[in-house]
């Protein structure tokens, strides 16, 4: 069912109504950030992590939120929008924060504008595919490794092109390499791999987005008795892995059946997913 309303700067509007001008900096330059969140049973899953990432990124990009732009008010507006769009149990919400109008060399307006979209999802656990994903590696373009690379930025060109490549190859997703030729992340997920019972993931210094599901797993897996290590990951490392997992705040955990013909099993990954579903 299509969403009937969006929230634009705190006001509900019909979803098809035009709200941006051609001079909008978010549209022209990708000057902004976004969060994609899972709403389940009347709450934002991992909401604390989402808002901490959002406000940290806004500080880095020199946004000045208004007095009313707080996690508490944003969560209230998210849930009100979900209710206006049908009031179902599960929603995928996209919260976009951006600057207003101005040229590239004009003094940027520090005030934060925002749009919230809420799309109903089928009820029950989602994201897990028993048959696993077949994925590829994007051969064009590289992700930089700097203090902007971990942001969930509106400047999404590299990932958009990688997603197009994945569709053209008939793949379920596509890994993105960093400027050193190592693994950064995928088009919509962070990556973990398992070798001899050890769990590995690239550190954020390798250019990947600071995923909230990634952060959650880094906290809970050691508590559950697993050894997790952040280290640079090469294509060769993945060729020798036992299991390969992709993590995303909405989909949770997805297991990879094969990468460029290299097959993987799914043993520990299935258990990780069941633990994730339990907190939902």
pLDDT digits (tens, 9 = 90+) for 112-150: 899 999 999 876 555 567 789 999 999 999 999 999 999
Q: CA 151, CA 61: separation in Å to the nearest integer?
A: 10
Backbone angles phi, psi at 69, to 5 degrees: -85, 85
- At residue 191, the 3 state secondary structure works out as strand
What mean pLDDT is reported for the chain?
Answer: 90
pLDDT of residue 213: 94
Q: Buried (b) or exposed (e) across 150-161, using 16+ Cβ within 10 A? A: bbbbbeeebbeb
pLDDT digits (tens, 9 = 90+) for 89-119: 789 999 999 998 888 877 667 788 999 999 9
Domain boundary among 59, 94, 120: 120
Domain range for 98 is 5-120
Residues 175, 108: one domain? no
Domain boundary among 98, 120, 142: 120
How many domains does the chain contain in total? 2
Q: CA 18, CA 39: separation in Å to the nearest integer?
A: 26
Residues 161, 270: one domain? yes
pLDDT digits (tens, 9 = 90+) for 157-179: 999 999 999 999 999 999 999 99
Domain boundary among 55, 89, 120: 120
Residues 145, 99: one domain? no
- pTM for this entry: 0.91
pLDDT of residue 155: 92
CB of 54 closer than 8 Å to CB of 97:
yes
Residue 17 lies in a domain: yes
* Residue scoring higher pLDDT (80 or 42): 80
Structure tokens given for 213: 């599901």
pLDDT of residue 26: 85
Q: By percentage, how much of the chain surpasses pLDDT 90?
A: 71
CATH number of residue 87's parent domain: 3.30.470.10
pLDDT digits (tens, 9 = 90+) for 224-234: 889 999 999 99
pLDDT digits (tens, 9 = 90+) for 208-220: 999 999 999 999 9
Between the CA of residue 168 and those of 90, 165, 274, what are the distances in Å? 30, 5, 32
pLDDT digits (tens, 9 = 90+) for 178-223: 999 999 999 999 999 999 999 999 999 999 999 999 999 999 999 9
């Amino acid at each position: 069912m299509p969403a009937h309303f969006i929230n634009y700067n705190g006001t509900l509007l019909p979803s098809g109504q035009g709200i941006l001008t051609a001079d909008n900096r978010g549209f022209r330059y990708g000057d902004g950030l976004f969060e994609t969140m899972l709403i389940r049973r009347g709450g934002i899953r991992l909401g604390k992590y989402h808002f901490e990432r959002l406000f940290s990124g806004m500080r880095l990009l020199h946004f000045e939120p208004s007095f009313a732009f707080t996690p508490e008010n944003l969560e209230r507006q998210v849930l009100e929008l979900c209710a206006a769009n049908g009031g179902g149990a599960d929603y995928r919400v996209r919260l976009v924060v951006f600057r207003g109008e101005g040229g590239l060399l004009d003094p940027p307006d520090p005030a934060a504008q925002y749009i919230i979209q809420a799309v109903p999802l089928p009820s029950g656990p989602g994201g897990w595919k028993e048959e696993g994903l077949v994925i590829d590696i994007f051969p064009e373009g590289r992700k930089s490794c700097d203090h902007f690379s971990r942001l969930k930025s509106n400047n999404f060109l590299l990932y958009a092109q990688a997603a197009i490549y994945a569709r053209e190859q008939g793949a379920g997703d596509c890994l993105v390499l960093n400027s050193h030729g190592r693994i950064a992340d995928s088009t919509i997920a962070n990556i973990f791999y398992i070798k001899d019972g050890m769990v590995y993931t690239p550190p954020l210094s390798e250019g990947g987005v600071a995923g909230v599901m990634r952060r959650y797993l880094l906290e809970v897996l050691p508590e559950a008795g697993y050894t997790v290590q952040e280290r640079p990951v090469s294509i060769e490392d993945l060729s020798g892995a036992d299991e390969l997992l992709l993590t995303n705040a909405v989909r949770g955990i997805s297991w990879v059946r094969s990468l460029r013909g290299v097959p993987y099993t799914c043993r520990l990954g299935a258990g990780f997913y069941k633990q994730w579903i339990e907190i939902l």
